Amino acid sequence: MTRSKKYASSTDVARLAGVSQSAVSRTYKPGASVSEETRAKVLAAAEQLDYRPSMIPRIMLTQRSHLVAIVIGGMYNPFYATVLERFTSRLQAGGWQVLLLHVDSGHSFDAAIPRLAGYRVDAIVSALAVLGPDTAEALARFRIPVISFNTPAQNDFLSSVCCDNTGAARAAADLFAARGARRFGYIAGPADSPANQDRLGGFRDRLRELGLPEPAVLGGHFRYEGGYASALQMCAGPDRPDAIFCANDLVAIGAIDALRRELRLKVPDDVMIAGFDDIPAAGYAGYDLTTFVHDAARMVDESLKILRAATAAPPEPHEHRVVVPAMLIERGTTARRA
């Protein structure tokens, strides 16, 4: 149940096997020159002592920990759970281990940096909105490669892999227009979120280009309750929009519930809705929500490509800003005949 003895060391194994410590070391190094006889003796002794080579001295010697820190904020958005899972699998497959860091503010990120440095992580992946310029600066001082997931790089010290929010928002405007919408709304996320800014910007710009009216804008959270309240307010009056683009799916689902239950409006007949993220609930028949989805697979792959290049010895040149297109998933909430 609890550790009663220390881990066995290679020296312990060597003693038991009657060989030198280097022989043990070589036994566990692929492609080293050890005789079958020695190897057998070592493995037998190791088995008996439950020996596993420690990574720790290796880290000291090689200056590489094979540890990658993943920093995340709230996981209330299932998208991040997906990303985290995929990252973890891929990194493990590549011989890395994941040091998970939970952070709920820029401040707590700063506080965590010394710890990351203490474990000598090879790289940091930030899937986080709170990576501000100061934090980025602090990270840069340790010369640890940082990959910012979904937050554009603000300086030369970190790379970023982002979803093309602007392009997706433009596509939403096109879709609504093609379905015959006339009055538009945007239910926003936090004003300081770059993703939210780009989605609003792309949506508004494209509507303008199409000669359509400005969208009404409300909101300020990425949460269900925010969508619920904003939809209520936005659609209570006479001039309500007949197509609403929502900052994300949680917001969109909140909006749908509000429209149906409080205002007795039909989706998509009275109001079309589109969201962002394709969370599981978006696919439930009860919502059947048209949405855009980050190409998580490709974003993770691009991140890993950067990571490999940046942690190579010597470091290889690589992209610093990658933008990956979002994918439209058209479902029932925009299924209206123009």
Site for a second copy in 141-200 (CB under 8 A): 141-145, 156-159
Contacted by 25, from a second copy, DNA, none: CB < 5 to 8 Å by type: DNA
- Look-up: residue for tokens 């040149």? 317
Q: Which one of the spans 35-43, 187-195, 209-217, 250-258 is the region binding a second copy (CB under 8 A)?
A: 250-258
* Interface residues toward DNA, by CB under 7 A: 6-7, 9-11, 19-23, 25-26, 28-29, 33-35, 37-38, 51, 53-54, 56-58, 60-63
Q: How far is the CB of 62 from a second copy (least distance, A)?
A: 11
Least Å from the CB of residue 332 to a second copy: 11
142 interacts with, out of DNA, a second copy, none, CB within 5 to 8 A per kind: a second copy
Burial class of residue 150 in the structure, from the number of CB atoms within 10 Å of its CB (0-12 exposed, 13-18 middle, 19+ buried)? buried
Which residue, 6 or 264, is less far from DNA as judged by CB?
6
CA–CA separation, 97 vs 168, rounded Å?
34
Find the part of the chain contacting a second copy (CB under 8 A) among 16-24, 171-179, 189-197, 258-266. Answer: 258-266
Give 64-92 as a DSSP string: ---EEEEEE----SHHHHHHHHHHHHHHH
Question: Can you list the positions of beta strands (E) in 73-213?
Answer: 97-102, 123-127, 146-149, 158-163, 184-188
Residues 203-242 contacting a second copy, CB under 8 A: 224, 228
Cβ of 262: how many Cβ atoms within 10 Å? Answer: 13
Closer residue to DNA in complex, CB, 16/177 = 16
Which of residues 31, 33, 36, 60 is near a second copy by CB under 8 A?
Answer: 60
Residue 22 or 155: which CB sits closer to DNA?
A: 22
- Answer whether 336's CB lies under 8 Å from 180's CB: yes
CA 103 – CA 278 distance, rounded (Å) = 24
Answer yes or no: are the C-beta atoms of 275 and 249 closer than 8 Å.
yes
Q: How many CB atoms lie within 10 A of CB 276?
A: 31
Question: Would you say 10 or 303 has its CB closer to DNA?
Answer: 10
Site size toward a second copy, by CB under 8 A: 75
- The DSSP H or E segment spanning 243 is strand 243-246
Question: Of 126 and 166, which CB lies nearer to a second copy in the complex structure?
Answer: 126
Quick count: other Cβ atoms within 10 Å of Cβ 104? 12
226 vs 233: CA distance, rounded Å = 11
Does 53 bind a second copy (CB under 8 A)? Our answer is: yes
Q: How far is the CB of 32 from a second copy (least distance, A)?
A: 18
Q: Which of 106, 132, 283, 325 binds a second copy (CB under 8 A)?
A: 283
- Interacting residue with a second copy among 40, 192, 213, 284 (CB under 8 A): 284
Q: Is the preceding omega at residue 114 within 30 degrees of 0, hence cis?
A: no
State the Cα–Cα distance between residues 30 and 256, nearest whole angstrom.
58
- Considering the complex, state which of residue 119 and residue 236 has its C-beta at the smaller distance from a second copy: 119
Residue 22 binding target from DNA, a second copy, none, CB below 5 to 8 Å by type = DNA
Quick one: tokens of 146?
């940082």
Q: Residue 144: which of a second copy, DNA, none does it interact with, CB under 5 to 8 A by kind?
A: a second copy
Among 118, 211, 237, 238, binds a second copy (CB under 8 A): 118
Tokens, residue 133: 């310029």
**Is 15 within 8 Å of 46 (Cβ atoms)?**
no
Nearest distance from residue 69's CB to DNA, in Å?
18
